[in-house]
Structure 1
Amino acid sequence: MEGVRNWTTLLVVLASVPALCLAQLQVNVFLQPTNIIDNVTETLLVRCYLTGSVADGISAQSIFLNFNKSSSVSTITRASVQGVGNPSLSPDIADRATVEGSINADLATSSYLNLNFNNVSCADVGMYTCKFTYQNGTTMTKETSAQVSGSSLPGRIEVRHDPVKQKYAIGETVTLICSAMVSKPARDWTWQKFEGGSWKPYTNGVSQDTPALVTDCAYYRTTSLVYRVTDEDETKFRCIIGSDISTSMETSINGVVNGGQHLIISPVLVMLSILCAIWQ
């Protein structure tokens, strides 16, 4: 019985040798760059390749490059190469990307797949998974994933007044509204008022909404300032994304007494008033 157990153990070890050798094979994902900056980054390389060694009898079959968008649960195949065929590319990116690669059935580490974007966008932010398929008596797979993140530079600031007027009556309330892409992660808005010859922080009546993710690279955010007009002089404000003056927008409010309506005094009425006073 002891001899049977020893032979059984030996057979198990021998049967596991290909699998042990295969464990030395690594499926890798190379990204360049790892972060897409909206309207700045133009190209992206996603490379699937293998390193290490494999046992005899292992036959490489295919490499699939799958993509899972950050804002979606669905997975799509962006590129693939199988057997002796040419590499293929997903139709939705065919106009802005190219693919190259090959499968070496006898030498797996010579197999590779490259996806090159020549016009990358925030839609390409997400998880890229390289899936290597091989034959070892049965069809088996190994896979590795890497994340492409997205960010943006703040900008595209818009400013508006509510209500919209050229001049506001003294005592009237006006709301100043700033909105823009505020980068990712979302930055805060700040306000300043020009007084005494310099810009100073202003917090009265200021609020900002919750940032909304509008692309996989950027958040959109709005802020408002409610101001009660107090004088006829021009009052200047500016809204700033974060604390960077280069991402700010200036606006102004002009006040006027009585809403700009001037009292017109007729000479005839003046004369009648004088005569009435004399007759009394």
Structure 2
Amino acid sequence: MEGVRCWVLVLAILSSASTLCSADLQLNTNLQPTSIIDNVTETLLVRCTLEGSNNDAVAAQSLTLSFKKPSSVSPKEHVSVERNGVPKLSSDIENRASVGGSINTDSLTASFLNLEFNTVSCADVGNYTCRFTYLNGTSMTMETSAEVSGTSRPGRIEVRHEPVKPKYTVGEDVTLHCEAKVSKPAGEWTWQRLEGEVWKPYTNGVSQGKPALVTDCAYFRNTSLVYRIATEEETKFRCIINNDINNSMETSINGEVNGGQPLIISPVLVMLAILSATWR
């Protein structure tokens, strides 16, 4: 039994030694930049490289780069290069990206695969995985991944009133709504009212919806303010994202007494009133 255990140990050591040859090589996934800003970041470079000591026993077969969006179930191959071949680019990104790379059979560490986007959007946020396939007595692979995150700036703010009227009766309630993409992480809405020449915080009747992820680097959020018309004068409000005046929208409402209907006096009644006064 001791002899059997010894042979098992020797076989285990030999097995480990055969895999250590390939372990001298390291596969890297490099990103530049690692985070994009939607509609701001212009380019994205993803690079697959090998480093370490070359091993004559390892015969390189291919380098591939796949991509998986956060909302996707499975990854999709973006680019690849085969031994003695030219790099190939997926048709769905060929109009906005370029590829370069090769398998160097003389020096594995000189092998590489590049994917460069010249137009970047939220569609490129996700996980990029480099995979190296090679022969070392049998077909083997190694892979490594890197993540591209994404953020966005607030979008155009939409404002509406409910109900929609040119003027509101004093004492009537009107609801003001603001909604927009509020960046990522999701921004906070606040309201202000113009008092004299100063904008002051306004919190009465204010509510805010939960953020909803609408792209991989942007949230959508709404807010509302219920206001009871108190005066015939114009009242101005504005909604703001993250208290940034550059991401705000102003709106105003006007009030009127009795719905703005003028008092109609009959000419006959006027004449009777005059005659009554004369007879007296």
- Structure 2, unaligned runs of 5 or more: none
Give the letter aligned to residue 191 of structure 2.
Answer: W
Give me the CA root mean square deviation.
2.1
- Distance (whole Å) between structure 2 residues aligned to residue 15 and residue 187 of structure 1: 55
- Distance (whole Å) between structure 2 residues aligned to residue 144 and residue 170 of structure 1: 66
Give the corresponding residue for 1:145: 145
- SS at the partner of 2:85? coil
Q: Deviations over 1:38-96 (max 9, x none)?
A: 11112110000011114331111111101110111121001111111111111111111
Give the letter aligned to residue 188 of structure 2.
Answer: D
- Distance (whole Å) between structure 2 residues aligned to residue 76 and residue 4 of structure 1: 47
Give the corresponding residue for 1:132: 132
- SS at the partner of 2:156? strand
Structure 1 residues 4 and 175, CA gap change in structure 2 (3 angstroms):
closer
Structure 1 residues 107 and 13, CA gap change in structure 2 (3 angstroms):
farther
- Distance (whole Å) between structure 2 residues aligned to residue 5 and residue 56 of structure 1: 32
Give the length in aligned residue pairs.
280
- Structure 1, unaligned runs of 5 or more: none
Give the corresponding residue for 1:80: 80
Give the corresponding residue for 1:44: 44
Give the corresponding residue for 1:264: 264
Give the corresponding residue for 2:123: 123
Shift of 1:120: 1.3
Give the letter aligned to residue 122 of structure 1.
Answer: C
Shift of 1:3: 9.0
- SS at the partner of 1:247? strand
Give the letter aligned to residue 56 of structure 1.
Answer: D
Structure 1 residues 278 and 121, CA gap change in structure 2 (3 angstroms):
same
- Distance (whole Å) between structure 2 residues aligned to residue 182 and residue 5 of structure 1: 65
Give the corresponding residue for 2:207: 207
- SS at the partner of 2:216? coil
Q: Is the 8 A contact 2:39 2:120 kept in 1?
A: no
Q: Is the 8 A contact 1:79 1:88 kept in 2?
A: yes
Q: Is the 8 A contact 1:103 1:112 kept in 2?
A: yes
Structure 1 residues 5 and 171, CA gap change in structure 2 (3 angstroms):
closer
Q: How does 1:1-280 map to 2 (within 5 A)?
A: 13=13, 16-275=16-275
- Distance (whole Å) between structure 2 residues aligned to residue 151 and residue 8 of structure 1: 54
Question: Sequence identity, in percent?
Answer: 68
- Distance (whole Å) between structure 1 residues aligned to residue 24 and residue 230 of structure 2: 76
- Distance (whole Å) between structure 2 residues aligned to residue 8 and residue 38 of structure 1: 57
TM-score scaled by length of structure 1? 0.93
- SS at the partner of 1:22? helix
Shift of 1:18: 4.1
Q: Deviations over 1:82-126 (max 9, x none)?
A: 111111111111111111110123422111100010111111110
Shift of 1:11: 6.5
